[in-house]
Amino acid sequence: CPELRWSHAGLELADSYCFDPHKWLLTGFDCDAFWVADRGELIEALTVLPEYLRNAATETGAVIDYRDWQIPLGRRFRALKLWFVLRWYGVEGLRAHIRSGVALAGRFADRVAADDRFELTAPHPFSLVCFRLRAGDEASADLLRRVNDTGRVHLTHTRIEGRYTLRLAVGSPRTTEQHVDEAWNLLTAAAEDLLAA
């Protein structure tokens, strides 16, 4: 999305870049998008070229031997699943999906920011919102357990500056405002019970 490209400012100066498309690009695990500025250096570091693999096409550079881009000699066709997503959604479909996730995360973050019991713990320019109860680590951990035990949503946690932090990630193309609102309602109801105890 053009409006999110600021996050990659300076990428043209990188020697290599990779990302896992399993979230926003709707592709299952074990697929990595990998770019290198100079493939020669990568190949030089990883290549193993016994006599039985030598051939004219390789020697002249007519083919790219991807076996030299990694440690294993063979590789699964991991890119096929990403290719199907790109073909199905197209650029505009993926942009719409990403924009929807960003908007839904923003909706959720606005609710967190408006409730004095909670605090945002990190910026949320994309589809991940990190937040916690102001009551501290134990209360936040208990809140996560209570909400996840409902089976209605699944949030995860991390630590930011040593503090226990809850994470809400919007990734599914089927996520709607109703789902985000339900997550918020579960959180606020559980927080009310927890803080009243």
Taking residues 189-195, report their average pLDDT: 95
pLDDT of amino acid 50: 63
What pLDDT digit, counting tens, does each position of 133-150 carry?
Answer: 999 999 999 999 999 999
Catalytic residue among 52, 66, 89, 164: 52
Taking residues 116-121, report their average pLDDT: 98
Considering only the C-alpha atoms of the chain, give the largest distance between any 2 of them, rounded to a whole number of Å: 75
In CATH terms, are 2-89 and 92-196 the same topology?
A: no
Encoding tokens for residue 84? 């199907």
Residue type present at position 106: G
CATH number of 2-89: 3.40.640.10
Domain ranges in the chain?
2-89, 92-196
For 33, 43, 175, the CA distances from 30, given in Å and listed in that order, are 10, 21, 24
Residue type present at position 11: L
pLDDT band at 108 (very low <50, low <70, confident <90, very high): very high
- Is the separation of the CB atoms in 186 and 179 below 8 Å? no
pLDDT of amino acid 72: 63
- Is the separation of the CB atoms in 165 and 156 below 8 Å? no
Residue-wise DSSP of 138-160: HHHHHHHHHHHHTSS---EEEEE
Taking residues 20-47, report their average pLDDT: 82
pLDDT of amino acid 9: 94
Taking residues 107-135, report their average pLDDT: 97
Taking residues 90-115, report their average pLDDT: 97
Q: What percent of the chain has pLDDT over 90?
A: 63
Mean pLDDT lowest among 32-46, 102-116, 128-142, 153-167: 32-46
What pLDDT digit, counting tens, does each position of 146-155 carry?
Answer: 999 999 999 9
Decide which of 3.90.1150.10, 3.30.1180.20, 3.10.310.10, 3.40.50.970 is the CATH code for 92-196.
3.90.1150.10
Query: Is 17 annotated as catalytic?
Result: no
Q: Which of the pair, 112 or 67, is modelled with greater confidence?
A: 112
